[in-house]
Structure 1
Amino acid sequence: MNKQLIAATTFAAVLGATLAAPAIAADKEKCYGVAKAGQNDCKGNNHSCAGQSTHDMDQGEFKVVPTGTCAKLGGSLTPADD
């Protein structure tokens, strides 16, 4: 393999890994089941965009909250199994 191909492949892999999941700050966590309809922070059950949830407190939708507050809100750190 030539050096240019290796460099391009490495760049594509790093870029893909970076874009694959949204970054959440270390002092934040995803809290499932606490978002009001239209107030979710990212993709969910049947959509791929923030703000598109259609039900309050859907166990498959999340809000990003400060670490340690999810349980106080009555949420879960993992989505419900469908």
Structure 2
Amino acid sequence: MSQTRVVSSAFAAVFALGLVGHAAAADDMSGGKNKEKCYGIAKAGQNDCASLSGSHSCAGQSTKVSPDEWKYVAKGTCKSMKGMSADEAKMAMKK
């Protein structure tokens, strides 16, 4: 293989990795600005990540609707969905 092809392939690989990283960063940023965690509304198997109680650590592992399970929702819509903030969910778990 010629030196030009090796250099071109290496450049293409680095460029592609940069685009993937940039897209992931943009996705993380938009999720943080326009979304909020809403506890107590996630149906079984539809939670977005770890439970507040620590009973599991991954998305989709909830087994029922529970105050410690959450989903990302558009900011300002949680209360209208009968959801709770993290502090409210902690209080509900103590009852």
TM-score, normalising length from structure 2?
0.57
Q: 1:62 aligns with which of 61, 66, 70?
A: 70
Ranges in structure 2 where 5+ consecutive residues have no aligned partner? 1-27
Superimposed CA distance per residue, residues 37-64 of structure 1 (whole angstroms, 9 cap, x where no aligned partner) = 00000001310000000012x1001000
Ranges in structure 1 where 5+ consecutive residues have no aligned partner? 1-21
Structure 1 consecutive aligned stretches of length 4 or more whose deviation exceeds 2 Å:
79-82
The aligned length equals 60
**Could you tell me how far 1:80 is from its partner in structure 2?**
2.8
- 2:90 alignment partner in structure 1: 80
Percent identity reads 48
**Rg comparison, structure with higher value:** 2
One-letter amino acid of the counterpart of residue 54, structure 1? T
TM-score, normalising length from structure 1?
0.66
Structure number with the bigger relative contact order (C-alpha 8 A, sep ≥ 6) is 1
CA RMSD of aligned residues (A): 1.7
